[in-house]
Amino acid sequence: MQCVYIAVFCILALSIPAGTGLRCWSCSSSVDRHCGDPFNSTFFHMSDCDNHQSPHPYSQRSAPVCKKSKQTANGHEMIIRSCEYNRENPCLPSSGHSSIREVFCETCTVDGCNSAHRLTSVTLTALLPSALWTLAAKFL
């Protein structure tokens, strides 16, 4: 009977996948145009955020998030995809360059989620009544 328990334990232990950290796309359209919209992922690899040091030493306590931001600098638009370590306020504008303005920012916590715009629950909730009204009008 003890052998059965050991065998079951071994099978369960082997079936648990090895854990990895959050993986995000990391690039800038100012360096490579394929990083812009529409995003072409064939030119990039995802970065494991847990394997990279945060540029801010006190941010290591917070789990990373994937970030996609659109910025304008001197009239030029750029899209930056990255790991962000300031989870509480990931979309705060940086105080370093006054000529850079962030016009769009979103974060997410699923591997590769910073590739493109995503439908949020707010967007779906707003669209649901219109879709139901259209379907009801068509079939009733």
Question: Is residue 4 included in any domain, yes or no?
Answer: no
pTM, entire model:
0.63
Question: Is residue 16 included in any domain, yes or no?
Answer: no
pLDDT value at 10 more than 50: no
User: Quick one: three-class SS letters along 4-64?
Assistant: HHHHHHHHHHHHCCCCCCCEEECEECCCCHHHCCCCCHHHCCEEEHHHCCCCCHHHCCCCC
Compare 135 and 1 and report the one with higher pLDDT: 135
- What CATH number does the domain containing 59 carry? 2.10.60.10
Question: Is residue 66 included in any domain, yes or no?
Answer: yes
Please, which pLDDT band fits residue 21 given cuts at 50, 70 and 90?
confident
Looking at the structure of the chain, the number of domains it has is: 1
Q: What is the pLDDT of residue 86?
A: 78
Backbone angles phi, psi at 60, to 5 degrees: -65, -25
pLDDT value at 35 more than 90: yes
- Pair 65, 108: CB distance under 8 Å: yes
Q: Which domain holds residue 31?
A: 21-139
Question: Is residue 2 included in any domain, yes or no?
Answer: no
| pLDDT 10s digits, 38-72 | 999 999 999 999 876 655 555 455 788 999 999 99
pLDDT value at 1 more than 50: yes
| pLDDT 10s digits, 79-135 | 999 999 877 788 876 656 678 888 999 999 999 999 875 444 444 555 667 777 777
Backbone angles phi, psi at 17, to 5 degrees: -70, 150
